[in-house]
Amino acid sequence: MEPKMYPLQFEPILKERIWGGEKLKTILNKPITSKITGESWELSTVEGDVSVVANGELKGKSLMELIDESPNEILGTEVYNRFGKQFPLLFKYLDAREDLSIQVHPNDKLAKERHNSFGKTEMWYVTQADADARIIVGFKEDSSKEEYLKHLNDKTLVSILDTVKAKPGDVFFLETGTVHAIGAGLVVAEIQQTSDITYRLYDFDRKDAQGNTRELHVDLALDAINYNKVNTQKKYETKTNTSNVVVDCPYFTTNFLPLENKLEVSKSGASFTVYMCIEGSFEIEYNGFKQTYIKGDTILVPAEINAFILSGNASILEIYIS
């Protein structure tokens, strides 16, 4: 007999990065053991980094196994019709103790041609920010390939890029082609298409412990960059016990849900739902199942679970595909 579905949690996949720190542990309760942990992959089917269930009867099973066995039940009818047995999103937390490299992601067409991959449209929700923490997003003014290359060669690229101060609760939506970098002193939740394709443009001439610089992808990036000025910051409502739309794009919908006390939720079964607990704690009750989640937890609610109760006091990101 197949096991009954329930809200699923997964073992975090922790990644050391040259720019990483220790805030994933101190702020988001991740079991890191390194002083340079930059990323916690919360939900992933990227090859070599497939999430494994951490709770309940299905503990130890990979997300790919579950989808293979029960695609409609996990993914939802619409998602399965559109993507087959692929999990189309990747969920992460990032801790930038230092600036990340300046980078860009290709669109679906380029990524398919070059890497047989999805493109990488993504969004950031700022969960913590040191004073004066900033991000780089796009160009200050419309630019061109020629101007960009001149500044890149002169090591003055930052001078033509738009730098924005970031504070907790800020959301930045990055369409493919947007040149960007998370600045030092930020912890962000990242929601993106399932893709690990990044073109690194400039890395501030940093060297690792072995004295090596990281590879740049200047030529690959030239056709991927959007040289026009873009508006990336998203404003949104914060009504209590309401799914306030933050980002609604072809690849995912993200809502901000300030939970107070109790909320009955009903879903159509068309898509899975993911909850990321940004602040506070809450419970999910479903068909005899009841579990408490704390800040930093990420929960996959399979699509076949279409009625459940959220209770507690928390700030939650709610993500699905519409």
From the annotation, which residues make up the binding site for Zn(2+)?
105, 122, 180
Q: Which single residue is written with the structure tokens 């679906």?
A: 108
Active site residue 82: no
Could you write out the three-class secondary structure of the chain? CCCCCCCECECCEEEEEEEEECHHHHCCCCCCCCCCEEEEEEECEECCEECEECCCCCCCCEHHHHHHHCHHHHHCHHHHHHHCCCCCEEEEEEEECCCCCEEECCCHHHHHHHHCCCCCCEEEEEEEECCCCEEEEEECCCCCHHHHHHHHHCCCHHHHEEEEECCCCCEEEECCCCCEEECCCEEEEEEEECCCCCEEEECCCCCCCCCCCCCCCHHHHHCCCCCCCCCCEECCCCCCCCCEEEEECCCCEEEEEEEEEEEEEECCCCCCEEEEEEEEEEEEEECCEEEEEECCCEEEECCCCCEEEEEEEEEEEEEECC
Beta partners for residue 14, in sequence order: 40
Beta partners for residue 128, in sequence order: 187
Chain centroid to CA 76: 20
Binding residues: 105, 122, 180
Q: Which single residue is written with the structure tokens 């990321």?
A: 276
Q: Which of 17, 114, 200, 206 is catalytic?
A: 200
Phi/psi class of residue 181: alpha, beta or left (left: φ > 0; alpha: ψ in -120 to 50)?
A: beta
Q: Which residues have a catalytic role annotated?
A: 200
